[in-house]
Amino acid sequence: MYKFLIAILVINLSFGCSSQANSAEMSETSIYEIYLCLGTAIAGQHNKLGYPAGERHAILVFLRQPTNTQPDWEQARSYVEGVGWNKVDLQKASKIDPKTLDESPEGKKSYDEAMSNGKAMIVYSEPVKDEE
């Protein structure tokens, strides 16, 4: 399931989430859109998901923003830090079309949560190995 979500992210970051027609259609029906930010963070002592402190994990941050704006990197970073993660390194962001998440229940759930509450995050369970 997570490999599928990563594939969606790569496609969205490389080619954009939707055509201009779909973007125009989305902006007419919604004043918000969701940015998906890809990065890593180190689990803090009191992270809310219970990961061992000090482990670095890949993360996806779903962030609700007004349409036609740039990604709010500081808001995304602040959210991740607020739920107990340190050394947040966000590398890429892209608007995401919810239709691309139809085959990913976890991604769809996070998208819906971000649309309702402003933000959501997926943390990958396997720690990221340090590059040597």
Q: Which domain holds residue 110?
A: 2-127
Confirm if 44 and 83 have CB atoms less than 8 A apart: no
How many domains does the chain divide into? 1
Query: What element of type H or E holds 12?
Result: helix 2-15
How does pLDDT run along the chain (132 residues), one tens digit per residue? 444 444 444 444 443 443 333 444 443 457 999 999 999 999 999 998 899 999 999 999 999 999 999 999 999 999 999 999 999 999 999 999 999 999 999 999 999 999 999 999 999 999 998 765
Q: CA–CA separation, 72 vs 105, rounded Å?
A: 25
Answer yes or no: is 6 within a domain. Answer: yes
> DSSP H helical segments within 30-104, as ranges?
73-82
Answer yes or no: is 132 within a domain. Answer: no
pTM: 0.76
Going by C-alpha positions, the residue among 22, 84, 15 that lies closest to residue 49 is: 84
Q: CA–CA separation, 43 vs 108, rounded Å?
A: 24
